[in-house]
Amino acid sequence: MDLLVQVLINGTLLGGLYAMMALGLALVWGVLNIVNLAHGAFIMLGAYVSLYLFTYLHIDPFLGLPITAAVMFAIGYCVQRGLLNLIVRAPMFNTLLITFGLEVVLTYLAQLAFSADFRTINPSYAGDSIVLGPVVLPLARLLAFGVAIALTVGMWVFLLHTTLGRAIRATAQNLVAARLYGVEPRHLYAVTFGIGIALAGTAGGLYGTVSQINPYIGAALTAKSFAISIIGGLDNPLGVIVGGLFLGILESLTALYIGPTYADVASFGVLVLVLIVRPTGLLGKAA
């Protein structure tokens, strides 16, 4: 019984991190209709930004997250303004092609800049944990979970209740009408993508405190974020939390009861199932 409780806790904490990773992808996809195949590479870059802030400026990885987010926002803004705005109304295939290329370029630039060495963001408390009787709550994961939930809920509030959030949604829904109301779409696209990349970078900072990082972690993280976005649905940030938690718990239970090799089989199996049965995601509006 204790083992099951522990594994459920592990899965929940993992799920929070998953949700955080997927949030930016879901936002960019939902609003800009860009499936950003470079998303994982941006998570990786965010992890390196956090690592360098921690290693050279001795900024705590959690306190440094706003800086990481700001740096990544700037990168995201520039990428959208200079590159992706060119293809924003192009067929989906073009966006896939260009973001895939971006992923390759970012990955190899990262190897040039940071080498292929494995790194960890390892503050003194990274391995600490809170022990509650028979179960253990790893501190870094708990903090990462907290940040993830706070940002996801914050995202939801932002999109629903702020002027900028409304403008972003309005542009996504009806570009012509949004323009008539004075929205400047190119800037707004770039802001949206910037926010998405800032979220990816934040996820990267969190990821680096619980896992090793190297220039090649991106592709797998894109795939996972993709699955979570599909399972959770794109039109609601809370769906991403549900998708993330669902996947985290599912993988942990699969590893416990069926075997660790089957964790990925289970998550991508569910992805296929959701696509067949409920293509708008678990929380998405029925098609």
Partner 1 sequence: MLKISGLSAALIAAAVAMSSGSAVAKDIVLGASVQLTGPVANTGRYYRDAYQLAVDKINEAGGVKVGHETYTLALKLYDNQSDVNLSVRQYTQLVSRDKVNFLLGPFASNFALADSAVSEKYQIPMVQGGGASDQIFSRKFKYIFGTLAPASHYFGSTVEMMKGLDPAPKSVALLYADDAFDVSVAEGTRPKLKEAGLTLAMDERYSTNATDFNSLLSQIKSKNVDAVLVAGHETEILNFVRQAKSLAVAPKMYSFTVGVPSEDFRKALGKDADYAFGMTAWLPSADLKDQWFGDAAQFASAFKAKFNYDPDYHAASGAADVEALVKAVEDAGTIDPAKVRDALSKVDFDSLYGRIAFNENGQIDLPQTVIQIQDGKLVAIQGVHGKIAAPKYPMPAWDAR
Residues that bind partner 1 (CB under 8 A): 2-3, 6-7, 10-11, 14, 108, 111, 116-120, 122, 126-129, 131, 136, 138-141, 210-212, 214, 216, 220, 251-253, 255-256, 259-261, 263-264
CB-nearer residue toward partner 1: 82 or 127: 127
Smallest separation (angstroms) from partner 1 to the CB of 32? 28
- Phi and psi angles of residue 213, each rounded to the nearest 5 degrees, phi first: -125, 150
> Please, which residue, 109 or 164, has the CB nearer to partner 1?
109
- CB of residue 62 to partner 1, shortest distance in Å: 15
Minimum CB distance to partner 1 smaller for 116 or for 286: 116
Least distance from C-beta 140 to partner 1, angstroms?
6
As measured in angstroms, the least distance from the Cβ of 210 to partner 1 is: 7
Q: Whole-number minimum distance, CB 269 to partner 1, in Å?
A: 14
Nearer to partner 1, 181 or 257 (CB): 257
Q: Is residue 211 a contact partner of residue 44, using CB atoms and an 8 Å limit?
A: no
Helical H segments across the chain, by residue range? 2-27, 39-57, 65-82, 92-114, 139-161, 163-173, 175-180, 185-210, 218-232, 237-257, 263-277
Nearer to partner 1, 124 or 163 (CB): 124
In DSSP notation, 119-187 reads B----TTTT-EEEETTEEEEHHHHHHHHHHHHHHHHHHHHHHHSHHHHHHHHHHH-HHHHHHTT--HHH
Please state the φ and ψ torsions of residue 132, each to the nearest 5 degrees.
-115, 95
Query: Which of residues 121 and 241 has its CB atom nearest to partner 1 in the complex?
Result: 121
CA 206, CA 11: separation in Å to the nearest integer? 16
Would you put residue 259 in left (φ > 0), alpha (ψ -120 to 50) or beta?
A: left
CB of 160 vs partner 1, minimal distance in Å: 33
Give, for 261, the enclosing helix (H) or strand (E): none
Which tokens is 40 given? 């994982």
Nearer to partner 1, 115 or 174 (CB): 115
Least distance to partner 1, CB of residue 8, Å:
10
Closest CA to 83 of 105, 109, 110: 105
